Amino acid sequence: MEVTILVLSFIVLIVLRIPVAWSIGIAAVITILASGMPVIPALTTIAQRVVTGLDSFSILAIPFFILAGHIMNRGGIAKRLINFAKAIVGALPGGLAHVNIVSAMLFGAIAGSAGAAAAAIGSFMSDEMEKEGYNKEFGVAVNVTSATTGLIIPPSNIFIIYSLASGGVSIGALFLAGYIPGILTGLFLMIVAYIWAKRKKYPTGNASSLKNIFTTFLQALPSLFLLIVVIGGIVAGIFTATEASSVAVLYCLLLSFVYKEINFSDLKTILTESSETIAVVMMLIAMSIAMSWVMSYEDIPQSVTASLLQISDNKITVLLTINLILLFVGIFMDMTPAVLIFTPIFLPVVTALGIDPVHFGIIMVLNLCIGLCTPPVGSVLFIGVGVANTKITKVIKPLLPLFLAMIVSLILVSIFPELSLWLPRLFGYK
């Protein structure tokens, strides 16, 4: 009964165009009241859960990484990464599409934000691709889907959120586990771009000399070094993910001043934009934690676990079922609340079947990345379309084969756990 009330109230609120964070919070209140709890205790309890849910040292990493992403977006880092990507893959058929994908993988990994990658890379690549004869909508589709790889290749805020929702899965293990699935997804996107470019006879760029590759690499190296600083520091135990995020802010700020792309007058705008993003994300996290508590109070995770295990005790069958549910959820819900709400529901199911929580975290994030590219809620899709000044309806057709590439990657990662777990085991996390 409570599950039905929770789901229906949330859907109705979303249909009424109530902001997602408020829809989650109101649905949680309605559900707890329907269970028979008096109004004042119910409201007090939800308010307490909202506040205490954010009282976590690990969550501090999120605003710092968001700030680092905004600094990167303005600090000239994207331009240097694009030049390096152009030097190494620009000569392939559909070269600029491959440049877009590789640039998005590099920038998204450094910034830890799919939206930042779509905006930064799209603003550079959209006009250039159209000028070279590429279909604008194809360029948008490539930009949008490739931007999501930055959420899988660490550092990534969403892995920190999953760690919180799962009750403490190692952030370092999740970061290491994301490398191979993220690169695999990028490679599948490049295969689709290659085939599409061959069919459409898109131009091929000139092969770069070794000198040019080396020069562009040296120019991009300070930006790429951030990955070594952040991930290396966490894996080596030098600092925590939260401390790493503050180091990332300082490093990006210093690098941007060295590049002479920003000055002190730009800091006000960067801090303002970052604060707006942080406020939205934190509100989503707080309300989602409150809803997760309501679901736990009503024993919803236990009910779902029992129901799914009655369907089958086969790992592949259960993972397929969960993947289908999450693909549907991703269409209508942003990634942050989806991870916070559905991790406590599905994690007991998969752990009961012996599936590693780190492996499941990668599956969940990779799955929900697809939802970021789909209407009506796909935030990255809206950013990509806005940057290119086109319409969503025109982008759907070239998006479909790229969706297929992401789904193939998702299936492989779901079936073969070692794609996620090999690196964490190599570095002693398992």
pLDDT digits (tens, 9 = 90+) for 44-66: 888 888 888 777 777 888 888 88
**Alpha-carbon separation of residue 400 from 122, 322, 414 (angstroms):** 19, 22, 21
Q: Are residues 138 and 41 in the same domain?
A: no
3-state secondary structure 253-265: HHHHHHCCCCCHH
Return the closest-CA partner of residue 285 out of 126, 110, 51: 51
Q: State which residues of the chain have pLDDT below 70.
A: 1, 205-206, 376-377, 430
Paired tokens of 217: 């690499």
Q: Is the dihedral of CA 376, 378, 381, 383 positive or negative?
A: positive
The pLDDT assigned to 73 comes to 73
The pLDDT assigned to 85 comes to 85
Paired tokens of 367: 């799955």
Q: Are residues 348 and 253 in the same domain?
A: yes
Q: Are residues 13 and 160 in the same domain?
A: no
Return the closest-CA partner of residue 100 out of 200, 15, 257, 205: 205
Q: Are residues 22 and 115 in the same domain?
A: no
**Alpha-carbon separation of residue 185 from 111, 116, 148, 229, 330 (angstroms):** 18, 19, 9, 24, 18
The pLDDT assigned to 35 comes to 81
- pLDDT for 131-178, tens place per residue? 778 888 888 899 899 989 888 988 888 898 899 888 888 888 999 999
Q: Are residues 85 and 180 in the same domain?
A: yes
Residue range of the domain that includes 47: 1-53
Q: Are residues 269 and 220 in the same domain?
A: yes
Q: Are residues 260 and 409 in the same domain?
A: yes
Q: Are residues 192 and 177 in the same domain?
A: yes
Q: Are residues 166 and 31 in the same domain?
A: no
The pLDDT assigned to 430 comes to 58
Q: Are residues 244 and 146 in the same domain?
A: yes
Last residue of a domain, one of 53, 73, 92: 53
Q: Are residues 207 and 93 in the same domain?
A: yes
Domain count, the chain: 2
Q: Are residues 161 and 230 in the same domain?
A: yes
The pLDDT assigned to 179 comes to 92
